[in-house]
Amino acid sequence: MVDGAKSPSSDRFGASEKRDYRPFIQMHDVPKGWVYYPDSFYLASLLIVESLLARTGFPPLEGTAAVFLFRHYVELSLKNLIMYGRVLASLEKNASASDVEEIRGGHSLRKLWGMCLAEAKPMVDVSVWNNCDVRFLEKCVDELDNHDNKGFAFRYHFEGGEQCGFDFHQLLETMQHAYRVLHTLQEELDDTLDANEIQR
């Protein structure tokens, strides 16, 4: 090696800089019970898509992450609706905690949607369900499940996601409308749950 020359990897990307490690996760005495995890994934995806539409970022990289985050939001939201369906014994009565089973539906959105129809739909007022654009939501579930039925395609390499391109204008519209539908259904179930608690 020539005197004064750096080794090939000694300063690559600043990796040789030695730093003290400082933890970035902080534990709080009071849990943040108001944090709704599905919304955190939805909002993160929304920020990425809006950034890409504003032509800041690199669509092939960040776009894949945006679609994964949106898909994960849909998955968590469907599971949440299913749990509401299980927590409600009927439109007038809440189930006891010991009677509520955990979800064992895996990651298939189509399977979870079927569980929603069987368990959550009966607990939603018929007029509310019929007024919501559930057909649109079902089409969204179908598209996501057709391209990623295990939740792997936009998370791991060589699982199919590398073959996908994205229409970010359409993705934004789809995300926002799917969010409205899912949020409305969740709020309806939440209101029923609260009303039953008050009547006890």
For 131-146, the DSSP string reads HS-HHHHHHHHHHHHH
**Confidence (pLDDT) at 157:** 87
Query: Among residues 134, 147, 123, which one has the least CA distance to residue 195?
Result: 123
User: 49-95 pLDDT, tens per residue?
Assistant: 999 999 999 998 999 999 999 999 999 999 999 999 999 999 999 99
Grade residue 8 by pLDDT with cuts at 50, 70 and 90: low
Give the pTM: 0.89
**Confidence (pLDDT) at 32:** 82
Residue 5 has pLDDT above 60, yes or no: no
Q: Give the start-to-end residue ranges of the domains of the chain.
A: 37-89+104-199
Grade residue 10 by pLDDT with cuts at 50, 70 and 90: low
Q: What mean pLDDT value characterizes the chain?
A: 91
Residue 12 has pLDDT above 80, yes or no: no
Residue 153 has pLDDT above 70, yes or no: yes
For the record, the structure tokens of 33 come out as: 């019970």
Q: What is the dihedral of CA 86, 104, 68, 146, to 10 degrees?
A: -100
